[in-house]
Amino acid sequence: MLAAMLPVSLCASAYDFVADGIAYTITSFTDLECSVVANDSSYRGDITIPETVSFNGRTLTVKSIGDKAFYQDTALTSVTIPATVTTIGWEAFYYCVNLQTITLPDGLTDIGSQAFYRCSSIESIDLPAAVSKLPMDCFHGCSNLKYMDLSNVETIGESAFSYCTNLAEVKFGDKLHSIERYAFQGCGFEEFTIPNSVTSSGSYILKGCDKLQSFTLGNGITEIYNDPISGCTNVKKFIIVDGSESLTFSKDTTYRSAPFEYVYIGRSIILRYLPSGSRYYHYYCPPFWGNTHIKTVEIGESVTDLPCYEKSPYYGFFENCTSLDSIKIQGLPTISENFAKGDTALKYVEISNKTTEIKDDAFSGCSSLETIVLKALTPPTYEDGFTSSVYLNCRLLIPEGTEALYKNASPWNNFWNLAESPEAGIGEVISESATISVSAENNTIVITGKPAEQIVNVYDIQGRLIVTTTQDVIKNLSSGFYIVSVAGKTFKITI
């Protein structure tokens, strides 16, 4: 008999009084404050918690929902929480599988771990602006949750929304700075962007999001490790947004088998390899090496380095990407060794005016090339060159006014289909309506119509840069042929 009565005795001691079917414990005798706690029997149906409650002739203010207050109350359908409540304890609504609606007060500031764990009938929750941190497993398994406004949230804890399988949209604000590991594992997103404000991102935050098709990484993240989109089998777009700080790939993050079709890289990349003998060591290649799904690559103008594997053999950044069809480079002063080696489907390559050097075997084995666009006035150096079939059949488009330079530079002078083209125009045009003209007389070049700070570059017939200036008048030039580059336009001048 004593053993049978023991659970009731323990439960009864967990609260101080009951009013209108709701159990409370007094949390402050001086301030007359109390907390909702678990009752002897499960809470059922629709519950409205009052702001104040009377006990022994005193009026107490309801300030919190205690730990496990509604723990596994599977018959609970709705809860209205009063404006006086500032805290919801850990596991407060744990496994309330039939809870459909809950009203959270504006004054709420703190929510405990696993507070709404597996509340699988909730479709929406309006999160108060004062809640800045979502703790571990807070909404884990809320499988009917479809949308969350997280505009005021600063930190999203570990597994906070894991297996919210219908969660397809979240709204982030610029206060968010941390997303911890597994935060959105198994959710229903088709697109997901880590905002630029986030500087800390844990492992596998989107692991197993089968519906995910597009992933964008903000520029606040400086290192990727333990792939944030591991197991996302349908991601077609992978975007690293523009930024000045390099992004480090480390540990076991690799995208060799990822289903990406489009890759945009807006920052320089650093590859961190673990030493032989370390626990996680294995033979590393650059993250996209050998990916047979990628079709299109774009590289932003802020990118200065996409390295190959640091030791011989120098595995290239996009080497053996055998479905890769086009590469557009807007930055990248040096194209590294074996960059696109063996990309047998590659047809189109566009190389920016910032590129001055192409290293060994960068485009070796790219036998399907149809068009190469070079935007530099000075031909970039490339010792290895291309196959004879590429020289015979591929179009080489170069900036207007540079034909003589390219026909005197190897390997570009081997192309049979070399032509000047507006498509290879260099730089950014300052304004569509701007009118710039260049004239020459008495060993002087005169530029009119340009802004005062606009840079002017002057090249000789061999493509050597002889003058860089912001002046409108360039004097004391020798007689001869010159190419003047200003505001994205080129001019042929004879003195």
Note whether 348 and 276 are same-domain residues. Answer: yes
What length is written for the chain?
A: 495
Q: Point out the domain boundary residue: 384, 404, 427.
A: 427
Distance, CA of 296 to chain centre: 18
Note whether 326 and 463 are same-domain residues. Answer: no
Give, in order, the Cα–Cα distances in Å from 328 to each of 70, 300, 321: 57, 9, 15
Rg (C-alpha) for the chain, rounded Å, is 32
Note whether 353 and 468 are same-domain residues. Answer: no
- C-alpha–C-alpha distance, residues 240 and 217, integer Å: 5
Note whether 263 and 335 are same-domain residues. Answer: yes
CA angle 438/443/445 to nearest 5° reads: 20
Main-chain dihedrals φ then ψ at residue 12, nearest 5 degrees: -65, -35
Residue 477 lies in a domain: yes
Residue 183 lies in a domain: no
Note whether 311 and 415 are same-domain residues. Answer: yes
Note whether 252 and 398 are same-domain residues. Answer: yes
- C-alpha–C-alpha distance, residues 41 and 370, integer Å: 76
Note whether 273 and 392 are same-domain residues. Answer: yes
Structure-derived torsion over alpha carbons of residues 219, 220, 221, 222, reported in degrees to the nearest 10: 90
Half-sphere exposure of 488 (CA within 13 A, CB side): 13
Supply 47's token pair: 């519950």
Name the burial class of residue 286, with classes exposed (0-12), middle (13-18) and buried (19+) by CB atoms within 10 angstroms of its CB.
buried
Main-chain dihedrals φ then ψ at residue 489, nearest 5 degrees: -120, 150
Predicted pLDDT of residue 8: 35
Q: Point out the domain boundary residue: 377, 408, 427.
A: 427
In 20-75, at which residue ranges do the beta strands (DSSP E only) sit?
Answer: 22-28, 33-37, 45-48, 52-55, 58-65
CB 54 within 8 A of CB 26: no
pLDDT by residue, tens only, the chain of 495 residues: 333 333 333 344 489 999 999 999 999 999 999 999 999 999 999 999 999 999 999 999 999 999 999 999 999 999 999 999 999 999 999 999 999 999 999 999 999 999 999 999 999 999 999 999 999 999 999 999 999 999 999 999 999 999 999 999 999 999 999 999 999 999 999 999 999 999 998 889 999 999 999 999 999 999 987 789 999 999 999 999 999 999 998 766 778 889 999 999 999 999 876 555 545 444 467 889 999 999 999 999 999 999 987 765 678 999 999 999 999 999 999 999 999 999 999 999 999 999 999 999 999 999 999 999 999 989 999 988 899 999 999 999 998 888 889 999 999 999 999 998 876 764 443 344 458 889 888 889 999 888 776 778 887 766 667 887 878 899 888 888 788 888 767 788 888
Residue 401 lies in a domain: yes
Predicted pLDDT of residue 281: 42
Residue 364 lies in a domain: yes
Residue 485 domain boundaries: 437-494
- CATH code for position 306: 3.80.10.10
Considering only CA atoms, which of 102, 67, 110 is closest in space to residue 85? 110
Predicted pLDDT of residue 428: 40
Alpha-helix residue ranges (DSSP H) falling in 394-432: 403-406
Note whether 465 and 385 are same-domain residues. Answer: no
CA dihedral for 383, 387, 389, 395, sign (positive or negative)? negative
Q: Can you name the residues that pair with 148 across neighbouring β-strands?
A: 170
Supply 216's token pair: 């964008």
Q: Is residue 22 helix, strand or coil? A: strand
Q: For the chain, what is the domain count?
A: 2
Predicted pLDDT of residue 365: 94
Considering only CA atoms, which of 90, 58, 65 is closest in space to residue 80? 65
- C-alpha–C-alpha distance, residues 214 and 306, integer Å: 22
> Per-residue DSSP letters for 129-178?
TT--EE-TTTTTT-TT--EEEETT--EE-TTTTTT-TT--EEEE-TT--E
Note whether 333 and 297 are same-domain residues. Answer: yes
Q: Point out the domain boundary residue: 405, 427, 449.
A: 427
Note whether 330 and 413 are same-domain residues. Answer: yes
- C-alpha–C-alpha distance, residues 385 and 281, integer Å: 36
Predicted pLDDT of residue 166: 97
Considering only CA atoms, which of 359, 387, 367 is closest in space to residue 322? 367
Give, in order, the Cα–Cα distances in Å from 146 to each of 128, 352, 483: 17, 43, 60
